[in-house]
Structure 1
């Protein structure tokens, strides 16, 4: 199906089995509320595009350290993210989606990342909210800072620092960041060095987006692997766009363990609920790539009483996602579920479900286009298993090379 006006849009979104990924496209994971907006750059006609994003999750004690459950009081939290496209003005989005009380942000800054918790000299910019230095976000709400002049290049890392003087209570967060966040006692939002930041976590807290405006700048940084390496498949896709000379915003809204059809305490609302809150709410999103469902089939092995999910139930969930995207004039690309043989998700019943669902993705014609991640990762000698070179080691999650193969399987012209 061709969607009217889709060529004029600047955004793409990806929804994954282990992650919900929003990918706005700007022209030139892992584990497979009310939305009130405050202080959103009042009166500005500036066109914003997403540079980076993460889906909020409710606080829980499943992950260490227990910052999300404990919250913060007289703490500075410093978080490093990589934007997939550049700009000359920046603002941040903060979420209190799962807060039970108003959240007071005493102050915030943005800077260019140096090493670890350090930032580059002369790059720290104070952020304001409706011209004020602080902001109170209502329970369930979202806030944007005002835009600040801040030139940043495609694939460059930026550091966002929040000072939380008052007790926050349990914190809205994003669990599997595959990135290091830092905490210090007291107010250190303007520190250039990282010495005060003695505690670390691999989750993100309150920060749910970095948005940019102005013309995209060129690529500036290099890519590694593993923790803090930005080698998720959306990162690899952003690198393909940049290498082709057309940087595009790739916003990874992944939530580890998330499902299409069922809510979970620790992995967030089901995909059909959060789709509009996360991917479809991004500015100028024009295409969505959906890879989600392996957790629906595999959750019965978690030992928490999760019910069995049928192929028909999962297909109906995907049809809901398709309808939601089309209702907003957004193109939607469906992805096949990747191999799981050898993992704790694998059973003959689950494999039959996976194969039946993938057949529907490939042949139904209900998605506007299809990307076959299953075949991109499969071992030719045993197609139900991930090729060893692509396997992270648990036979369920791809490693860095596997994520690269997934990004290569996507046709850039489809966006």
Structure 2
């Protein structure tokens, strides 16, 4: 049932917070699908509420030392005590960060003057993250506004082996040689990148009672085919809806989509079963898991049966419930016209969607299939929402997905 609603802060208060932001101016699952439980990632680790997140993965390039990254991310919920989480989850060697800073972006790689502040780790300005590890910074004094462009600047002094990051950021960030993290100009940040490196979460301490939703998904959640640099992924649209809402406690949105990701088996990224603990349950303040995934499973060759995918859903829901989280399930959207579509995949999609709608496993359901499908051919996406490849929504379709979410459903208690 929905929690008792609390009034949100108005835009005037959000604008006031900008003045002091960051101190500115001052079933049976197939073999191989068993979940891993990283022992060093406690559920809900850290204080506060996640305001931005991205699922880490193994990148196809080697990690390098004396390299700088200025990573641009968009906050959802605002608050004080900003912390960043750095991930070496897929690294096979330690990585040392000599300096880490956070500031508000003005434009491009340039920052709002006076906003770029150093972060510490256990009081120290540098930190070494072991292979496979995560580290959370100390809280930063001052406030960060909701819906702002945050620039987290990292200088990697020592690294090697496998690089951890998120390939499809759909956001321009910047790379440099040497340590230019303290610089607020764009002078030494000339090289552009469309990926995020090492940074996998940002948290804040928002108003009392505020919480977050984590969207666990594939390329549609990742935002593929939405317009880059404009924050038009469906979780971005959802964050804006939540910010405009006058009631409710869920304000933070964590986008944990990975293009090509599956529920049951590893591929692009670890499977949803294998990454649930790190990518969702370990994020502070997450009340609700929004599960929108499964199309990559049913169009795979060989593909699991509908019953196997349903068993995977049940396992995910059970684990999330055991961690005290609510789970909203989204139906799988139509994809006829995509090269891997065939009648067998469509039959599996219909069976799985019937389970999502009526199986009683989820605390609530968002019927994405109903919203995106064409009334003339329900096996296809509505042309107005189709990016052109018949599986990924365009900007308008992304917004339709977000608009389909009942905001009250995100307030639910786990079943």
With normalisation by structure 1, the TM-score equals 0.82
Q: Report matched runs for 1:183-198 at 5 Å.
A: 183-198=175-190
Partner in structure 1 of residue 285 of structure 2 = 284
Aligned residue for 1:344?
A: 339
Name stretches of at least 5 consecutive residues in structure 2 with no aligned partner. 7-35, 209-225, 411-415
- The answer to whether the 8 A contact 1:58-1:173 is kept is yes
How far 1:284 sits from its partner (Å)?
A: 2.4
- 1:347-399 Cα deviation digits (max 9, x unpaired): 11111111111111111112111110001111112111111111111111011
What is the CA–CA distance in structure 1 between the aligned matches of 2:55 and 2:359, rounded to whole Å?
A: 29
Residue 56 of structure 2 corresponds to residue 56 of structure 1: yes
The answer as to whether partners of 1:103 and 1:137 remain within 8 angstroms in 2 is yes
Aligned length in residues = 360
2:370 maps to: 375
The superposition leaves residues 127-175 of structure 1 with CA deviations (integer Å, 9 ceiling, x where unpaired) of 1110001001111110011111232211111000000122333211111
Q: Is the 8 A contact 2:50 2:202 kept in 1?
A: yes
- Once residues 374 and 36 of structure 1 are traced to their aligned partners in structure 2, the CA distance between those partners, rounded to angstroms, is 37
Instruction: State the match for 1:112 in structure 2.
Output: 104
Residue 8 of structure 1: how far off its partner (Å): 8.9
Partner of 1:331: 326
User: Unaligned 5+ residue runs, structure 1?
Assistant: 11-32, 61-68, 217-224, 301-306
C-alpha separation between the residues in 2 aligned to 1:95 and 1:47? 17
> Which residue of structure 2 aligns with residue 25 of structure 1?
none
SS class of match (2:162): coil
Report the Cα offset of residue 336 of structure 1: 0.4
Name the structure, 1 or 2, with higher relative contact order (CA <8 Å, separation 6+).
1
Shift >3 Å, 4+ stretches: 6-10, 33-38
Give the Cα–Cα distance (whole angstroms) in 1 for the partners of residues 100 and 291 of structure 2. 34
Structure 1 Cα separation of the partners of residues 400 and 340 of structure 2: 22
After TM superposition, the structure 1 = structure 2 runs for residues 117-128 of structure 1, keeping only pairs within 5 Å, are 117-128=109-120
After superposition, residues 355-366 of structure 1 pair within 5 angstroms as 355-366=350-361
Give the Cα–Cα distance (whole angstroms) in 2 for the partners of residues 344 and 83 of structure 1. Answer: 36
1-side partners of 2:198 and 2:364: how far apart?
34
Q: CA deviation at 1:37?
A: 6.8
Q: CA RMSD in A?
A: 2.2
- Alignment partners' CA distance in 1, 2:56 and 2:380: 32
User: In the TM superposition, what is the alpha-carbon distance from 1:343 to its structure 2 partner?
Assistant: 1.1
CA distance in 2, matches of 1:8, 1:322: 24
Aligned with 2:135 (options 143, 149, 152):
143
Equivalents in 1 of 2:280, 2:5: separation in Å? 14
Q: Check if 1:163 corresponds to 2:163.
A: no
Q: Name the SS for the 1:353 alignment partner.
A: helix
Q: Secondary structure at the match of 2:161?
A: coil
